[in-house]
Amino acid sequence: MESTLQGQLKSWRHHLHQRPETGFEEVDTSAYVANILKTLGLEVERGIGGTGLVATLRAGSSPRAIGLRADMDALNIAEHAPGRAHASLNAGKMHACGHDGHMSMILGAARLLAERRDFDGIVRFIFQPAEEHGRGAKAMMADGLFERFPVDAIFGAHNMPGMRAGTFATRAGGIMASEDNFVIHIKARGTHAARPHMGIDPIVIASQIVLALQTIVSRNLDPGLQAVISCTEFITDGIRNVIPSHVTIKGDTRSYSKEVQALLASRMREISEGICRTHGAQCQFEYTHEFAPTVNSPEYVDLAVTAARNVAGATSVDANVQPMMISEDFGAFLQAVPGNFIFIGNGETHARGGVPLHNATYDFNDKILETGARYFAEIARLALPRNRPCAS
């Protein structure tokens, strides 16, 4: 039989799923979340970093504080879910990454903690905009997030299709990679396809660059470190019988440290400019940092693992999961304050909840909502225990 809490969580999530809003446009989402939090008796401040908000709950007398974070934005994807009663009502937009579920879990934790007040300190419920493009966390911090709402640690989670529903996985150190974007503009000299000797062919030059970039990880990076370089777009201004004058290569890199990021950027620039110079072409190289790596603090990994085990059982928690090359805006928060990020299984591949993230048929698995809510509430109890022993 469905619990009262589970019914409430489903109702919240289905409402949010039907009304997706993308980055920095989460006006109605923010208002809906704020209203629930105010009804629960929390102090709510809106408009932080654009559409972000923070709700504060206090119990006892300790000045210690933690943050529990949920992301709010959806994606510009048209939902394909015939028969789904709670499908998106906003054309061309959907919660294809489960942020509707993340918000509902944090709201559930707020309800549990507000009802019981079984902690000593301050819990900040942080609802962040614009996670998908890696700008929301920075916007909230630029707006004084941690100065106005200080925390000693911050905790976040993401549902993970492919993991058994309701299981948890985390690790100390890097758990998700940085994402850096690059654009390489090659300016050469176009010519007739039948007379290639009259020009400088940027397709040949660009092809050599794409291949050469793949040697950086294998020949310049310590084998004990990890990185990925992916060229994802190859754009020319040529046509069938015209060798182009311009080629643009776009792509991204993934890694776990600033040192590796710097190495990738330096070597990519040197290789691109060097190959162009060899062929008499011009090169413009651009490299931007989009997502910081998500690096968990060891002292809070143990706390998160204990909370997960208390909620789901010891056999349902992986405390040393393999790091993933995906990226998350939560990494920016962890550069400012310590904390932990954890994965919650959404469902195995062929089971409910197993559809990949960012897929038009994806849906957050309602069965894990209460598990997630109880996990975050347990984090607060463990991080802010009542009857804390006095220092001797």
Q: Has 358 been labeled as part of a binding site?
A: yes
Q: Has 97 been labeled as part of a binding site?
A: yes
φ, ψ of residue 341 to 5 degrees: the values are -120, 140
What is the distance between the alpha carbons of residues 348 and 232, in angstroms, rounded to a whole number? 28
Q: Which two tokens stand for residue 82?
A: 């015939």
Q: Has 133 been labeled as part of a binding site?
A: no
CA-CA-CA-CA torsion sign (353, 355, 357, 360): negative
Q: Which two tokens stand for residue 12?
A: 């919240």
Could you tell me which residues come within 8 angstroms of residue 199 by beta carbon, excluding any fewer than 6 positions away?
Answer: 188, 189, 190, 191, 243, 245
Q: Which two tokens stand for residue 344?
A: 């919650």
Q: Which two tokens stand for residue 8?
A: 């409430």
Q: How many helices (H) does the chain have, and how many strands (E)?
A: 10, 16
Q: Has 158 been labeled as part of a binding site?
A: yes
Q: Which two tokens stand for residue 156?
A: 């976040």
Report the chain's terminal Cα–Cα distance, integer Å. Answer: 49
Q: Could you tell me where the beta strands, DSSP code E, fall in 162-279?
A: 168-169, 173-176, 178-187, 191-192, 227-236, 242-243, 246-255
What is the distance between the alpha carbons of residues 206 and 142, in angstroms, rounded to a whole number? 38
Q: Has 21 been labeled as part of a binding site?
A: no
The closest of 234, 247, 243, 241 to 199, measured between CA atoms, is 243
Q: Which helix (H) or strand (E) holds 38?
A: helix 27-39
Q: Could you tell me where the beta strands, DSSP code E, fall in the chain?
A: 43-48, 52-59, 65-71, 121-128, 153-161, 168-169, 173-176, 178-187, 191-192, 227-236, 242-243, 246-255, 282-291, 294-296, 317-318, 339-347
Cβ atoms of 58 and 122 within 8 Å: the answer is yes
Side by side, the strands of the sheet bearing 153-161 are 43-48, 52-59, 121-128, 65-71, 153-161, 339-347, 168-169, 317-318
φ, ψ of residue 6 to 5 degrees: the values are -60, -40
List, in sequence order, every residue forming a beta bridge with 122; answer none if it has no partner.
58, 65
Binding-site members are 97, 99, 132, 158, 358
Which residues are annotated binding-site positions for Mn(2+)?
97, 99, 132, 158, 358
